[in-house]
């Protein structure tokens, strides 16, 4: 390929444009020789000339040149320095060729390294040679530029989230890692805000991913509008976003930012005619206050976000030492729970349920306790939610079920005809519950009627379809089902009617003002009567006084449970209690 052919190809037919050259040489004779040689090539050319580095840099800054022929030896500046300055300003369109009278390989290398496209010896220049050098240099330069551009584009792709156009997780990690040490070195503060949309899963599941994606784009636009110039906004993935905010005006500016985020994201998003509710939970960690290390800072913000979710969503939560302590405690508890599952540290206590009319014990509810090696005997409030969150409730729940069944089968509950076992939300959702229950019944040779399962009301509403199927399976085994803590959830009567339920356990909170509060009494009566009218057996829990027991009995409750009759106790204490 000849130089001109190459030029034609590169220019895509635009090679007819004159080639714009800047010739820089302090020696008039050399300038004349070079420009004469160039013109002999009979190419359309325009040649500007400069005699000094200063002139050359000024001309370079003004005009758009295709190539610069630069004498290495100039009166006012080293040729390498001129080269560097031109490269520093070039917008990537000018090729630079060094001209020199010295045949010096070392210098040639340094010029090329400094960004020159070629290094030419003045004494070797022929018109042909010169034109070829210029056009080759231009071509090489363009290829370099094209490579640079595609490299930039690749970097963009690697650092950009294609859905929202925001920076992605990779970019975020890089930036945070760089920003934290810089903040430490220069003594400024930065805050990390982690944002997680509330209930986005429902949007995705309910309306499809297309709608979910469009919602994310709207959210990204709103976030972009809120974040200040200089702050870094990224989408970490899914419905998680992050902002690295440089706190020039102190912590108040973070408060203000968080508040704006909460406010602006609270407005529903309209997608395809659907009005979708939005809100966001935000976790905030400050550098250097909470940590001077990027990874730790992220963990702090993550914990704070988790806390914001737990506290009811749609809020911002700051990381604090207190939170740290709680989190450490959770981590420790999880660790200890795993050990207890391996080596056994759980016990079942039983609380009798009493027939309201006769006073006879008609059932006992199994309630789990954990004999912790350091913390002593723990109630379910100290560990069950952690077990739920970590999935450990699975093996724990299996143990409870097997142990309760074994205890009643072995006569350890004396004359108690039925044992009630609590099932958690996770247990109900996990596959194979009905099969495991059947296996436990078979292994302990129990009549199904000797077992009742208790399920809290809130579980049923959140996953009605799943719950219905599982409950029907349990019912088919012959095991009865009670709804626990009834009245504290939001289940509608229509739901209750469709579920295969035997018993409602009225929550103890309905007894708070009983017997003295007239309104509370009326409410309790209505609840009991309604439940009975629907054909359910009614248990009232949390009966603490004789007066409460009488009121409940008068209102028609079938069964009573509470401290007035007995506290939960190990089976070894239950037997003497039953004899009394």
Q: Which residues bind ligand C2E (CB under 6 A)?
A: 351, 367-368, 379-381, 384, 397, 400, 422-424, 454, 484-485, 508, 541-544, 561-563, 568
**Helix (H, G, I), strand (E, B), or coil: what is residue 345?**
coil
Q: Are 353 and 539 in contact (CB under 8 A)?
A: yes
Q: How far apart are CA 461 and CA 425, in angstroms?
A: 11
Nearest Cα to 554, choosing from 257, 379, 356? 356
In angstroms, give the least distance from the CB of 468 to ligand C2E. Answer: 20
Nearest Cα to 406, choosing from 422, 397, 419, 417? 419
* Residue with Cβ nearer ligand C2E (288 or 395): 395
* Residue with Cβ nearer ligand C2E (475 or 508): 508
Q: What's phi and psi for 130, nearest 5 deg?
A: -65, -50
Query: Which option in ligand C2E, Mg ion, none does residue 568 bind, with CB closer than 5 to 8 A by kind?
Result: ligand C2E
* Residue with Cβ nearer Mg ion (20 or 564): 564
Query: Which option in Mg ion, ligand C2E, none does residue 563 bind, with CB closer than 5 to 8 A by kind?
Result: ligand C2E
In angstroms, give the least distance from the CB of 190 to Mg ion. Answer: 47
In angstroms, give the least distance from the CB of 196 to ligand C2E. Answer: 27
Token digits of residue 47? 């040649």
**Residue closest to ligand C2E (Cβ):** 562
* Residue with Cβ nearer ligand C2E (211 or 569): 569
In angstroms, give the least distance from the CB of 355 to Mg ion. Answer: 18
Q: Are 337 and 387 in contact (CB under 8 A)?
A: yes
Helix boundaries (H) for 499-568? 518-533, 546-555
In angstroms, give the least distance from the CB of 348 to ligand C2E. Answer: 7
Q: Are 52 and 75 in contact (CB under 8 A)?
A: yes
Query: Which option in Mg ion, ligand C2E, none does residue 562 bind, with CB closer than 5 to 8 A by kind?
Result: ligand C2E
Query: Which option in ligand C2E, Mg ion, none does residue 384 bind, with CB closer than 5 to 8 A by kind?
Result: ligand C2E
Query: Which option in Mg ion, ligand C2E, none does residue 283 bind, with CB closer than 5 to 8 A by kind?
Result: none
* Residue with Cβ nearer ligand C2E (31 or 508): 508
Token digits of residue 337? 């729970």
In angstroms, give the least distance from the CB of 455 to Mg ion. Answer: 9
Q: How far apart are CA 386 and CA 366, in angstroms?
A: 20
Q: What are the E-state strand segments in 424-579?
A: 451-456, 480-486, 503-506, 537-541, 559-561
* Residue with Cβ nearer Mg ion (60 or 486): 486
In angstroms, give the least distance from the CB of 508 to Mg ion. Answer: 7
- Give residues with Cβ within 8 angstroms of 268, minimum separation 6: 275, 276, 277, 278
Token digits of residue 552? 């409940």
Query: Which option in Mg ion, ligand C2E, none does residue 257 bind, with CB closer than 5 to 8 A by kind?
Result: none
Instruction: Give the chain's radius of gyration (CA, Å).
Output: 40
Residues interacting with Mg ion, by CB under 5 A?
422, 454, 484-485
* Residue with Cβ nearer Mg ion (161 or 507): 507
**Helix (H, G, I), strand (E, B), or coil: what is residue 71?**
strand
């Amino acid at each position: 390929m000849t130089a001109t052919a190459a030029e034609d190809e590169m220019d895509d037919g635009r090679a007819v444009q004159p080639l714009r050259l800047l010739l820089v040489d302090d020696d008039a004779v050399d300038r004349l020789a070079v420009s004469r040689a160039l013109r002999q090539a009979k190419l359309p050319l325009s040649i500007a000339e400069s005699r000094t580095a200063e002139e050359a840099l000024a001309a370079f800054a003004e005009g758009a040149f295709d190539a610069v022929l630069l004498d290495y030896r100039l009166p006012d500046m080293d040729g390498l320095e001129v080269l560097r300055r031109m490269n520093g300003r070039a917008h990537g369109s000018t090729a630079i060729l060094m001209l020199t009278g010295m045949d010096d390989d070392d210098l040639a290398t340094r010029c090329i390294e400094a960004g020159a496209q070629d290094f030419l010896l003045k004494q070797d220049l022929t018109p042909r040679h010169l034109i070829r050098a210029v056009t080759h240099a231009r071509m090489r330069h363009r290829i370099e530029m094209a490579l640079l551009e595609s490299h930039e584009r690749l970097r963009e792709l690697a650092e950009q989230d294609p859905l929202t156009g925001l920076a992605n997780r990779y970019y975020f990690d890089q930036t945070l890692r760089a920003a934290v040490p810089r903040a430490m070195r220069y003594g400024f503060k930065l805050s990390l805000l982690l944002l997680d949309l509330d209930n986005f899963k429902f949007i995705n599941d309910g309306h499809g991913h297309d709608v979910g994606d469009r919602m994310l784009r709207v959210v990204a636009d709103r976030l972009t509008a809120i974040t200040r110039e200089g702050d870094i906004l990224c989408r970490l993935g899914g419905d998680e976003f992050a902002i690295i905010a440089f706190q020039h005006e102190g912590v108040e500016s973070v408060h203000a930012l968080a508040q704006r985020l909460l406010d602006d994201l609270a407005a529903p998003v309209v997608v395809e005619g659907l009005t979708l509710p939005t809100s966001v939970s935000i976790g905030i960690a400050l550098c250097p206050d909470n940590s001077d290390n990027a990874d730790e800072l992220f963990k702090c913000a993550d914990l704070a976000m988790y806390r914001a979710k737990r506290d009811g969503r749609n809020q911002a939560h700051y990381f604090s030492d207190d939170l740290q302590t709680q989190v450490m405690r959770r981590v420790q508890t999880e660790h200890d729970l795993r050990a207890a599952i391996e080596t056994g540290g759980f016990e079942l206590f039983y609380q009798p349920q009493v027939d309201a009319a006769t006073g006879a014990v008609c059932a006992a509810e199994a309630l789990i306790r954990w004999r912790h090696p350091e913390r002593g005997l723990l109630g379910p409030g100290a560990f069950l939610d952690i077990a739920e969150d970590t999935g450990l409730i699975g093996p724990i729940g299996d143990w409870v079920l097997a142990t309760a069944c074994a205890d009643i089968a072995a006569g350890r509950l004396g004359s108690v005809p039925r044992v009630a076992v609590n099932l958690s939300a996770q247990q109900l959702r996990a596959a194979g519950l009905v099969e495991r229950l059947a296996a436990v019944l078979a292994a302990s040779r129990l009549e199904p009627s000797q077992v009742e399962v208790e399920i809290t009301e809130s579980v049923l509403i959140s996953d009605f379809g799943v719950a219905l199927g599982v409950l029907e399976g349990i019912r088919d085994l012959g095991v009865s089902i009670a709804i626990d803590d009834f009245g504290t959830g939001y289940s509608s009567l229509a739901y209750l009617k469709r579920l295969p339920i035997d018993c409602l356990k009225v929550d103890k909170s309905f007894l708070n003002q009983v017997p003295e509060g007239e309104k509370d009494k009326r409410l309790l009566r209505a609840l009991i009567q309604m439940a009975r009218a629907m054909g359910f057996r009614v248990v009232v829990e949390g009966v603490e006084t004789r007066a409460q027991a009488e009121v409940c009995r008068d209102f028609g409750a079938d069964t009573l449970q509470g401290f007035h009759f007995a506290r939960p106790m190990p089976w070894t204490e239950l037997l003497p209690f039953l004899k009394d």
